[in-house]
Amino acid sequence: MIRLLLAATLALSLSAFAQDDDDAPIPYDDDSGENTAAPKTIKRHRDTLREEEEEALEREETLTHLDDPNIGVGGEFLPGLMLLESSKGAGTEARFMYGFRFTWEFGRLIPDEFLREMFFADVTWQYAAYGDGTAQVHTDTNYHYFTLAPAFAIPFGKSFMSAYAQLGLGFNYTATSQYVGADRIDLAGTKFLFQYGLGLRGRPAILADGSVRITFRVELTRFLRGYMSDTFIGAGIGVLF
């Protein structure tokens, strides 16, 4: 709309300028070489009009950024419930899990107003611990999940909420301590990690200009830890700049 208005305004100005030329006496000139000056002027005006129109469009695109001065990086704390696949064969071992993640809304590299809201990526560390056994013989196992996961979000209209789907890769670092009486043996290893999941994400503005936002999520994420499968049901809360 703005683009149309600007173009119309420029077009009207051009007509007024042309009106001045029309008011002047039109000499009769049968010298065709001198008659080419007017079309050249019109062409020059048209070029100018096009350039100005393009500049106006660029200015309009830049306005999208000005509307949301947020640069799209942030961090979140994520608590939740991790359902570790049980080595016992059936069911899961439910354990509290927490972690932190760094988020980059890389969609902001895309000029398009709609697309720029649709992509982000998380670099996440999550931790859960599981211990079992008797007083004499027991094992403590600590699971660290490191992943890099891009996500595709679909905003709910103009609201601050969106739904997203995410895929990621990383590794699981498992550190275990086996206790037998007073003896302790420590061991650690890594496993390939593949994650996928769904969630809802909100990022309402804290400051009026929108440069600082709160982010929050609820999510359901599945981790393929080598040949084991774990499920995370959790939330996230953080800040986005």
Partner 1 sequence: MKRLLLPSIAALCACAPNPPAPVQVMALAPNQTGAYATVQVELKTLSNLANLKGSVAELLGGARVVVDPNDPLQNLNGGIQNMTDDQRYEVLVKDKGADVRGHFIERAGVYWPADFHTWNMVSAYYNFEKSYEYFVKVYDGVEPTELQKMRVMYWANVRLNSTEPMTDNALYLSFIKSFVIVPFSQDQKLVPLAMNIGVVGHEVAHRAFNHKVLEDQGIHPALTSWTGSSFNLLKSLDEGLADFHGFGVTCPEPAGCRPNFLDVSIADQSIVNMRNVARTDACMDENTRNAFFQFSPDQWVRSTDMYKVGNLIAASLYQAANKVGDVGVMQKALLAAYDDPSPVNPGLRQLINSNLNTPQAVTLESVTNIIVAHVTEPQMKKELCNEFSMRLQLKCGSFPCAEMPACPSTAGRPTQPCPLLPPLP
Q: Where does this chain bind partner 1 (CB under 8 A)?
A: 85-91, 130-139, 141, 169, 174, 176, 178, 180-181, 183, 185, 187-189, 191-192, 194, 224, 226-228
Nearest to partner 1 of 64, 177 (CB atom): 177
For residue 156, count other CB atoms closer than 10 A to its CB.
Answer: 12
In whole angstroms, how close is the CB of 50 to partner 1 at the nearest point?
A: 41
Residue 176 C-beta: closest distance to partner 1, Å: 5
Helices (H) and strands (E) in the chain, counts: 3, 8
Q: At closest approach, how far in Å is the CB of 175 from partner 1?
A: 9
CB of 142 to partner 1, least distance (A): 10
CB of 72 to partner 1, least distance (A): 26
List Cβ neighbours of 160 (8 Å cut-off, separation of 6 or more): 202, 203, 204, 205, 213
User: Which residue's CB is nearer to partner 1, number 167 or number 237?
Assistant: 167
CB of 93 to partner 1, least distance (A): 9
DSSP per residue over the chain, as a string? -HHHHHHHHHHHHHHHHHHHHHHS-------HHHHTHHHHHHHHHHHHHHHHHHHHHHHHHHHHHHH-----EEEEEEEEEEEEEPTTSSSEEEEEEEEEEEEE-GGGGS-STTGGGSEEEEEEEEEEEEEEE-SSEEEEEEEEEEEEEEEEEEE-TTSSEEEEEEEEEEEEEEEEEEEETTEEEEEEEEEEEEEEEEEEEE--BSSTTSSSEEEEEEEEEEEEETTEEEEEEEEEEEEE-
* Of residues 142 and 211, the one with the C-beta less far from partner 1: 142
Residue 94 or 218: which CB sits closer to partner 1? Answer: 94
Shorter beta-carbon distance to partner 1: residue 2 or 185? 185
Question: Closest CB to partner 1 among 65 and 222?
Answer: 222
